[in-house]
Amino acid sequence: MPVDQKNHNGSDNSFYIYGGHLLSPESPSKYLDLRQGAIVVDGRGKIAGVGPLEAMRKRYPNAPVSDFGDRLILPGLIDLHIHLPQFTQIGKSGQTLLGWLEKYIFPAEMRFSDPEHARRIAHWFFEELARNGTTFAAVFTTLHWQSTDVAFQVAKEMGSRVIMGKVLMDRNAPPSLQDDTDDSIARTLQLCEKWHGQEDGRLLYSFIPRFAITSTEKQMHEAAKLWHAHPGTYMHTHLAESLEECVVVQKMYPQSRSYTDVYERMGMLGERSIYAHSIHLNDEDIKRLAQTNSSIAHCPSSNFFLKSGSFQYKRVENAGVRFGLGSDVAAGPYMSLFEVMRDANYMQGDDWLSPAECLYRATLGGAQAAFLDDKLGSLTEGKEADFIVVNPNRKSGIAANILKQSTEEILSSIVFMGDDRLIEATFVRGRCLFELESGLVTRAAQTYTGTHN
Ligand code: GUN
Ligand code: ZN
């Protein structure tokens, strides 16, 4: 990494130019497609300019340039639902949700009683997020508050951007994975006060009752009160993922109209709430999510893996509910959001989702669902410089001339054939968190042959 790039996330007024083929969503169907384009990143890691490379070079004649040439520069990918402690359990199949939790997930989460284990996995997890091109993730940890604290420390040190929090569960789980309700709320408050908004808003706190089966009404209710009392924080949980789960919830909460209604009665719906899965919903549920400005994390790869059912994409979209994509690792077998985008398309049977729409859901759509589209989700002046360098030629089978093709054809190739192999570099707030080959960004700087040097 060049010295300038490494240090440039300071408070000086330095600028840095990244050249390449810019592709950035403006809506589900409209993209900026700028070949030999550039983004200019300022000293605070914000995008100060977007335009043709030569024009940016003229406007900022003293700024160093890394020119990625034909490679794509895309906004960083947004994962609206993922579990850090489950990273070791990817690919453990053969069960539907409730059996899978018992057999694989709860034992793995128990190991997070050891904060050193949490530190090791958190390092690996955040490294992998960057390697997969994910620049923003809404993360579940476990119920262990020390390990959650450690996960925040690691995210802080590594430059990752997260919504994260301690998981709350005070019933229907192995004894070592059950909170004392009052203590869980007190610890949650401490963690929220310590971490929410840290690093100038790069670290955000979410309240996480795991789901209606493993939290008491008191725990959910108290969590919702804390959420309302702390502006900018999130509510994040699972909703209506499997039919088996929905039957259990119905028995546990006979007074509620539906699973969604359980959460509504607890005060958990509203802006900055994220409901993972949300598959088995009726019209009234979808309407309430829309009316309350609640958001959904659609996790198609996970839903295929656990055979949970199919998300009602068009009904949810037509109702105006905000939603983005989640990998839901480890029920989702891969972290790469390119693979999740593809699964979102495959899940819809007769309904055609365009590749443009799929990438939009993993970028600007996700940012809108998190109410952060003023800062994230596209390559736009004034937004944070969260971006990835993508080289479609890294994957065999992608046509050699892909980068000369139309916007639609390029999007189609990366959505239907993309995975982690395409990612050559990942930047969060202008800081390079991953480069595929050491020195890639430096070499791009040295090989820049602009006429204005
Ligand atoms: N529902 C409650 N907990 C979980 C979890 O860890 N993963 C998934 N996919 N669904 C859940
Ligand atoms: Zn999940």
In the three-class reduction of DSSP (H, G, I as helix; E, B as strand; rest coil), residue 124 is classed as helix
DSSP letter string, 21-89: EEEEESSSS-EEEEEEEEEEE-TTSBEEEEEEHHHHHHHSTTS-EEEEEEEEEEEPEEEEEEEGGGGGG
At 340, is the secondary structure helix, strand, or coil? helix
Distance CA 227, CA 236 (A): 10
**Which residue minimizes the CA distance to atom 3 of ligand 1?**
210
| pLDDT value at residue 401 | 80
- What's the CA-to-centroid distance between 140 and ligand 1, angstroms? 10
List, as ranges, residues with CB under 5 A of the ion ligand 2: 276, 328
- The answer to whether the beta carbons of residues 424 and 390 sit under 8 Å apart is yes
CA of 332 from ligand 2 middle (Å) equals: 9
Q: Is 212 near ligand 1, meaning CB less than 6 Å away?
A: no
Q: Is any ligand 1 atom within 6 A of the Cβ of residue 328?
A: yes
Distance CA 121, CA 86 (A): 9
Q: Are 224 and 207 within 8 A, CB to CB?
A: yes
Q: How far is the CA of 313 from the centre of ligand 1 (A)?
A: 20
Q: Which atom of ligand 1 is nearest to the CA of 140?
A: 6
> What was the pLDDT predicted at 439?
81
Quote the CA–CA distance of 368 and 274 in Å, as a whole number: 11
Q: Could you give the CA distance from residue 372 to residue 83 in angstroms, rounded to a whole number?
A: 21
Q: Is 241 in the pocket of ligand 1 (CB under 6 A)?
A: yes
Amino acid at 289: L
**The pairing of beta strand 431-435 with beta strand 423-428:** antiparallel
Residue 13 is predicted with a pLDDT of 58
> Which atom of ligand 1 is nearest the CA belonging to 299?
9
Q: Which residues pair with 39 in a beta bridge?
A: 18, 50
Ligand 1 atom nearest 238 alpha carbon:
1
Q: Which atom of ligand 1 is nearest to the CA of 331?
A: 9
**For ligand 1, atom 7: residue with the closest CA:** 331
What mean pLDDT, rounded, does the chain reach? Answer: 94
Atom 11, ligand 1: which residue's CA is nearest? Answer: 238
pLDDT in tens, 282-309: 999 999 999 999 999 999 999 999 999 9
Calculate helix-pair angle for 145-158, 181-195, nearest 10 degrees.
20
- Residue 105 Cβ < 6 Å to ligand 1: yes
Whether ligand 1 lies within 6 angstroms of the CB of 109 is answered as no
Q: Which atom of ligand 1 is nearest to the CA of 211?
A: 2
| 82 Cβ inside 6 Å of ligand 1 | no
| Encoded amino acid at 223, one letter | A
Residue type, 287: K
pLDDT value of residue 450: 54
273 lines ligand 1 (CB under 6 A): no
**Residue 337 CB less than 6 A away from ligand 1:** no
pLDDT at 23: 98
Atom of ligand 1 nearest to the CA of 213: 2
Q: Name the token pair of 166.
A: 């301690």
Q: Residue 38 is encoded by which pair of tokens?
A: 């550039």
Q: How far is the CA of 101 from the centre of ligand 1 (A)?
A: 7
Q: What pLDDT is attached to residue 452? A: 39
Please, what is the Cα angle at 76 between 193 and 355, to 5 degrees?
A: 130
When computed from its CA atoms, the radius of gyration of the chain, rounded to whole angstroms, is 21
Q: What is the pTM assigned to this prediction?
A: 0.96
Taking 50 as the pLDDT cut, the residues of the chain under it are 1-12, 451-453
Distance CA(449)–CA(59), nearest Å, equals: 17
pLDDT in tens, 193-233: 999 999 999 999 999 999 999 999 999 999 999 999 999 99
d(CA 13, CA 74): 24
Exposure letters 226-247 (e unless 16+ CB within 10 A, then b): bbeebeebbbbbbbbbbeebbe
